[in-house]
């Protein structure tokens, strides 16, 4: 089923590229966990509730809305997808304009999409390739 997972994640990023950021909702387990980068600017920090973990389909939606609060013209592109058994590791290029400063930004990070059967049970972001590979059970 791993090639099916890779194809599903590839399709999600293709739809992200078309501006459809709700593309993955049908694949989510009802208790999906979404872990954003710890370094990611978080509007909730200004309100005193810092958290990078979002749980459930609604939680993932909230996390994505927080990204759009932080970035204008947000683009996410999958540069590389690696089959990791019940998971898919993606090298992501993200571009956007920081809403606070107005500065254009581009950076890379790694997202591990973990599946149980045909459902995504966890989406975890990593700043470092080595951390992502370790979490996916891959050697560099």
50-74 residue pLDDT tens:
468 999 999 998 988 888 888 899 9
64-117 residue pLDDT tens:
888 888 889 999 999 999 999 999 999 999 999 999 999 999 999 999 999 999
Looking from the CA of 104 toward its CB, the CA atoms found within 13 Å total 3
Residue 39 pLDDT: 58
pTM value?
Answer: 0.87
| Total structural domains within the chain | 1
pLDDT band for position 9 (cuts 50, 70, 90):
very high
Q: Which candidate, 40, 67, 49, 66, places its Cα nearest to that of 125? A: 40
Q: What is the CATH number of the domain that holds 99?
A: 3.10.450.50
The domain in which residue 48 lies consists of 2-136
Report how far residue 135's alpha carbon sits from residue 126's, in angstroms, rounded to the nearest whole number. Answer: 9
Residue 46 pLDDT: 40
């Amino acid at each position: 089923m791993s090639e099916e997972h890779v194809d599903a994640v590839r399709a999600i990023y293709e739809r992200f590229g078309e501006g459809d950021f709700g593309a993955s909702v049908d694949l989510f387990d009802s208790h999906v966990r979404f872990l954003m980068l710890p370094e990611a600017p978080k509007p909730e920090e200004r309100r005193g509730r810092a958290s990078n973990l979002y749980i459930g389909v609604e939680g993932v939606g909230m996390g994505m809305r927080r990204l759009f609060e932080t970035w204008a013209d947000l683009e996410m592109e999958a540069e590389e997808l690696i089959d990791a058994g019940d998971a898919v590791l993606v090298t992501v290029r993200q571009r956007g304009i920081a809403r606070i400063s107005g500065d254009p930004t581009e950076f890379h990070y790694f997202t591990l999409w973990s599946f149980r059967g045909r459902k995504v049970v966890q989406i975890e972001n990593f700043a470092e390739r080595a951390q992502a590979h370790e979490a996916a059970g891959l050697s560099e």
